[in-house]
Amino acid sequence: MDSIEISPQQALARQQAGARLIDLRDLDERVTGMAAGAHAIALAQVLDAPLQVLPQRDEALLLICARGQRSLRAVQALREAGYAQVHSVAGGTQAWQAAGLPVEQPELEPAQVDFLQRYTRHFRLPQVGMQGQRALQQARVLVVGAGGLGSPAAFYLAAAGIGHLRLVDDDRVERSNLQRQILHTDHSVGQHKVASAQQRLLALNPHVQVQAIAQRVSSHNIDELMTDVDVVLDGSDNFPLRYLLNDACIKHAKPLVYAAIERFSGQVAVFDAGRQRGVAPCYRCLFPQPPAAEDAPNCADAGVLGVLPGLAGVMQATEVIKLLLGIGEPLVGRLLRFDSLQMQFRSLRLTPDPDCALCAPQRPFPGYIDYAAFCSGH
């Protein structure tokens, strides 16, 4: 029996003599170019049901992949199954292209080419793959706040291909924001943050929908803002809004991805009591009453290390993606606290309060309250 591997030049000569060249790569790999005249057949089909896709065991076959490893494995399996004239192209498509041999592009729509090229690293992950990426493409996320936390979170959600981002913030960009709010530039000073964010996000990924809403979130508009969203990301910096988002997420049964930062430390959690009554805690289970103002100064008063919201916001984006794909273990029932000066992380277990005023099982939704008055009274 001759060698199991042949060079790209030998493969081309055999192809021209009548051998069938088969590209085993996935579609997102083939979009970068295929050996001219190659037929696309998935590796899994060749390995799992060879007779269905290659019914003639005596046919001269040449298998090619990206670098030669997958095709070599497939050739070995086929030879064991009785295919005598099958060879692997050494070095794969990379070697074929490097040798200057003829290549061709698969016939695809421009939007499909962009999709396949843009998310190719996601396709390599079994937990995501093509199906998971399509799910992200269909997802809708409400991001409240386009400041320190919303900036990195929205950047990575847009880059990941979240199909619809609804950004809500009534602030305008100030120069003091630029030290940490990386969605904005010096040119953005004076603009509404959501308008500035929309421009940057669409420049990064023009295939996502970014809905910019320059409004203050309140009990009067929160129900409308929650319409059709899958996950809510809390990028707020004040207690009244945090309590409002918590209550709305319980009412609408949506997961809430929370974060808070101060000086050099931060914390991240996922509150999913709306969908898991009595099992998962809500924000009120952790903070039944807001702390006194002197115990929780905001960033303007206390200061914050510029990179800190980047750490927290990226973790929030990670949790959103995990929730949308149903993978891993989200931070439900856990509070992840981190100290950037010591670079230490600590995870604390959170349990639901059986007497919580909002999320206790069978407790009807009590309605929204005057959150500013609620928080100022403590």
**Do both 293 and 369 map to the same domain?**
yes
The CATH number of the domain where 271 resides is what?
A: 3.40.50.720
**Do both 275 and 372 map to the same domain?**
yes
Residue percentage of the chain with pLDDT more than 70: 96
Q: Per-residue pLDDT tens for 42-52?
A: 999 999 999 99
- Please tell me the predicted confidence (pLDDT) of residue 248: 98
Question: In which residue are the tokens 């990179």 written?
Answer: 307
Whether residue 301 is predicted with pLDDT greater than 70 in this model: the reply is no
Q: Per-residue pLDDT tens for 331-373?
A: 999 999 999 999 999 999 999 999 999 999 999 999 999 898 8
Cβ atoms of residues 236 and 213 within 8 Å: no
Cβ atoms of residues 144 and 160 within 8 Å: no
Question: In which residue are the tokens 């004076």 written?
Answer: 190
- Please tell me the predicted confidence (pLDDT) of residue 296: 58
**In a domain? residue 360:** yes
The CATH number of the domain where 76 resides is what?
A: 3.40.250.10
Where does the pLDDT of residue 294 fall: very low under 50, low under 70, confident under 90, or very high at 90 and above? low
What mean pLDDT do residues 126-138 have? 95
- Please tell me the predicted confidence (pLDDT) of residue 295: 58
**Do both 72 and 164 map to the same domain?**
no
Nearest-angstrom CA–CA distance, 161 and 11: 38
**Do both 170 and 44 map to the same domain?**
no
Counted domains in the chain = 2
Backbone angles phi, psi at 124, to 5 degrees: -75, -15
Q: Per-residue pLDDT tens for 5-26?
A: 999 999 999 999 999 999 999 9
More confident residue, 353 or 3: 353
**In a domain? residue 324:** yes
Cα–Cα distance list, 176 to 105, 266, 310 (Å): 49, 20, 16
What mean pLDDT value characterizes the chain? 94
Domain holding 288, by residue range, is 139-376
pTM of the model: 0.86
Nearest-angstrom CA–CA distance, 118 and 110: 12
**Listed range (52-66, 105-119, 150-164) with the worst mean pLDDT:** 105-119
**Do both 205 and 249 map to the same domain?**
yes
